Structure 1
Amino acid sequence: MTSWTRVPVAVSAEVGLATAALLVVVSTVPAAPLSTLALALVGAAASATGASLHPVGPPARLVRDVLAGAAAALALGILLVVPIDPLAVAAWGLGALATSASVPALLGVAVVAQVATVAGAGAWSADEPRRATAAQLRAGNGVVVEVDTHAFLLQQAVTILRNDGRVAEADFLSSADPAAPYARNADGSPTTHRESYLWRAQLGSVDADGKNKASQMPDHFFNWWTHSGKGTISGPSAATWAEEQFAEAVQAWRHGDRSTAMYHLGAAAHLVDDACAPPHASPFVPNHRAYEEWVVPRQAEHAVTSGGIYRTDFRLHTGHGGDEWSSSHTRGWVDECAHRAAGLQINTAHPPPGDPADAADYESTIAHFEETQRLTAGYLDFFFEQMGAFR
């Protein structure tokens, strides 16, 4: 027969596990963050009650506090709409079994967990300050295509648009941005013409991994199945922030501010392209940085010059998740990229330190990179189509 002193803990464990199961189910529904938070708090409260009725010694209390901190981090992450580390989600079920009432421990672990989760990885490659020389950065006014895959993708997108007959769009992107600085020669000396709107979009892409990342788009991951980011089963994703950046671009364009529009469009394209990078499906995919480093020296060799993938080429009326995931929405472009990249996640284990293990892996990896260039061109065209421009 179960002793009275163990009943509260047993009940608490049952409530905690049941709530954890409900949490997983509800968190897969994109529009239910408050419901998820409520479930997390209910489970934590129930577990705290049970734990308080069954005192434990110092070692067990320490373990309990740490697990409780993970549970608190999960609830805090959902409440503040910041990325939630998958480890915090996994630990929540355990934390719900024996949540501590130790407020300092809860807050301390929660803060550490949240700081760790907000600092995400980059995408493809956009780390010019680390790769490029000072002379290159100066000559490119902060954009160095040779070491920045995102800038390269945008550059090739313009070429693809032109060769696909979308000449007006390509001409606009290649034209001078009146608000831009003067372009520079290779030696850093200024020319007599301004940088282009393409440069402005590339700068927006650079800043998406730089000064604007933490404040405007902290999560660059996107899971093709759950539609979540770093949280894997819950929380915002690259699609969340891509749609915000796209909306900023739309607003600026409608107000006649072409420069700002291209800046935000470049940031949105960065996030769409991130979803095309296989390691961005989950923080658990191996060799994230090594995979991106493998692509950089090969990107010029595999440049695509035509054959863009446009809105009418995929998900015309619906997508994985419903109509709002069609090619008529930015999130549909993100998800399309993620689905195309999903089958290549295993290849991320092959490139470092050399090429993929066999010819088939190499060819599929390169073919996907070429598709990414075509999708980038299509996404830029999608924006101009939405604006009714150059039609």
Structure 2
Amino acid sequence: MGHIENSYGFLMRNVLKAVNPIKKKIIKTECKVHKFITEEALEILRKDGKLAAHDFLKNYMHDINSGVVWADQDFKSSNHFYNPESERGLYGASNALKEITYYYTKSIKLYREGKVQASMFYFGCAAHILQDMTVPQHVNVKLLDSHRRYELWVIKTYLLHDIFKAREGGIYLDNIKSFIQSNADKAIETYMKFKNINNREDRYYKITSEILIQAQKSTAGFMLKYYNDIIKINEGKH
């Protein structure tokens, strides 16, 4: 990142701090969707027969969801963008791949130190970023002009339609970059499929019926990866 980009990032962070109290009020509403995704992901683990992971993680859902909410505080969401072609995020900011890797690594380190609740918290932070990668605007920055309007629509409607619940069929992958790539690919594919629907309600409905499902399924897979990684730590202690 060059000197000009660093300076721009510093300026933007200070501008955002000035409006932070307003943003915090909005976040409480927005993160209901992220918590919904995480809770549905846990149910997918149960339906997919991943019962050991389900039974273990359900005991820490409060800690995981605390991380899910915290991940958007103080405008950290400006780092939740990632274009898989350029491998960059917003100008002057970090990017989603760097951030999710940081949070996940920290989560595993804390678990190794015996700080289980803190580990779950940072896993929640990582899960939030993975979920953001299903939203086309987080993958293609050129679409940002419609981002807020779409988010508000999802907040109003995510509980109204059963089609927005995956229920089963988690996406189980081996590494963080594969999860990010899978969600980014789905986000762009879905946007391209429905972008020419003129009726905004219909367009948003069709997009959400695919990307909200992707978010739940990939979070379920991410949960299983996390569970498997911490089980290895437990086994290494014996």
Higher helix share: 2
Contact preservation (8 Å) 1:294, 1:351: no
In structure 2, what is the Cα distance between the partners aligned to 1:351 and 1:264? 40
Aligned to 1:201: 64
2:152 counterpart residue number: 293
Identity %: 23
Aligned residues: 223
For residue 224 of structure 1, the aligned residue among 60, 80, 84 is: 84
1:310 pairs, out of 164, 172, 194, with 172
2:169 partner amino acid = G
Contact 2:66/2:124 (8 A) holds in 1: yes
**Distance between the aligned counterparts of 1:119 and 1:372, measured in 2?**
31
Match of 2:225 among 354, 375, 382: 382
Distance in 2 (alpha carbons) for counterparts of 1:118 and 1:331? 30
How far apart are the structure 2 equivalents of 1:289 and 1:166?
Answer: 36
> Within 1, Cα distance between the matches of 2:103 and 2:198?
32
5 Å-filtered alignment, 1:195-344, equals: 197-211=60-74, 213-214=75-76, 218-231=78-91, 236-285=94-143, 286-300=145-159, 301=161, 302-311=164-173, 328-344=174-190
Distance 1:171 1:377 in 2: 13
RMSD between aligned residues: 3.1
- Tell me by how many angstroms 1:223 deviates: 0.6
Task: Give structure 1 stretches of 5+ with no counterpart.
Answer: 1-32, 38-71, 78-109, 121-126, 133-143, 176-196, 312-327
Q: Which amino acid aligns with 1:341?
A: A
Task: Report deviation, 1:262.
Answer: 0.6
Q: 1:170 aligns with which of 48, 51, 54?
A: 54
Relative distance call for 1:242 and 1:131 in structure 2 (3 A) is closer
Secondary structure, counterpart of 2:79 in structure 1: coil
Give the aligned residue type for 2:179.
W
Q: Distance in 2 between matches of 1:114 and 1:348?
A: 34
Query: How far apart, in 1, do the equivalents of 2:42 and 2:15 lie?
Result: 32
Q: Which has the higher contact order (CA 8 A, sep 6+)?
A: 2
Aligned-partner Cα distance in 1 for 2:154–2:117: 30
Task: Note if contact 1:128-1:148 (Cα within 8 Å) is conserved in structure 2.
Answer: no
TM-score under structure 2 length normalisation: 0.80
The alpha-carbon deviation at position 170 of structure 1 amounts to 1.4
Q: 1:255 to 1:350 in 2, by over 3 A?
A: farther
**Residues 153-183 of structure 1, C-alpha deviations (whole Å, 9 max, x = no match):** 11111111111111122112222xxxxxxxx
**2:37–2:212 Cα contact (<8 Å) kept:** no
Q: Give the partner amino acid of 2:80.
A: H
Runs of 4+ in structure 1 deviating by more than 4 angstroms, as ranges, are 117-120, 346-352
**Which residue type is aligned with residue 290 of structure 1?**
R
1:15 alignment partner in structure 2: none
Q: What are the equivalent positions in structure 2 for 1:138-157 lying under 5 Å apart?
A: 148-157=32-41
| Letter matched to residue 73 of structure 1 | I
Letter of the 2:58 partner, please give it.
Answer: S
Q: How far apart, in 2, do the equivalents of 1:376 and 1:117 lie?
A: 29
Match of 2:211? Answer: 368
Work out the CA distance in 2 between the residues paired with 1:119 and 1:344.
Answer: 33
Distance 2:195 2:11 in 1: 27
Question: Tell me, what secondary structure is at the counterpart of 2:142?
Answer: coil
> CA offsets, 1:120-171, max 9 Å, x none?
8xxxxxx773376xxxxxxxxxxx7x96211111111111111111112211
| Structure-2 separation of matches of 1:257 and 1:201 | 13
Give the aligned residue type for 2:112. R
Task: State the distance in 1 between where 2:195 and 2:79 align.
Answer: 20
Change (3 A) 1:222 1:266: same
Report the 3-state secondary structure (helix = DSSP H, G, I; strand = E; otherwise coil) of the residue aligned with 2:122: helix
Pair member with larger Rg: 1
Instruction: Decide whether the 8 Å contact of 1:200 with 1:266 is kept in 2.
Output: yes
Q: Scaled by the length of structure 1, what TM-score is found?
A: 0.51
* Gaps in structure 2 of 5+ consecutive residues: 17-22
Aligned residues of 2:78 and 2:90 also touching (Cα < 8 A): no
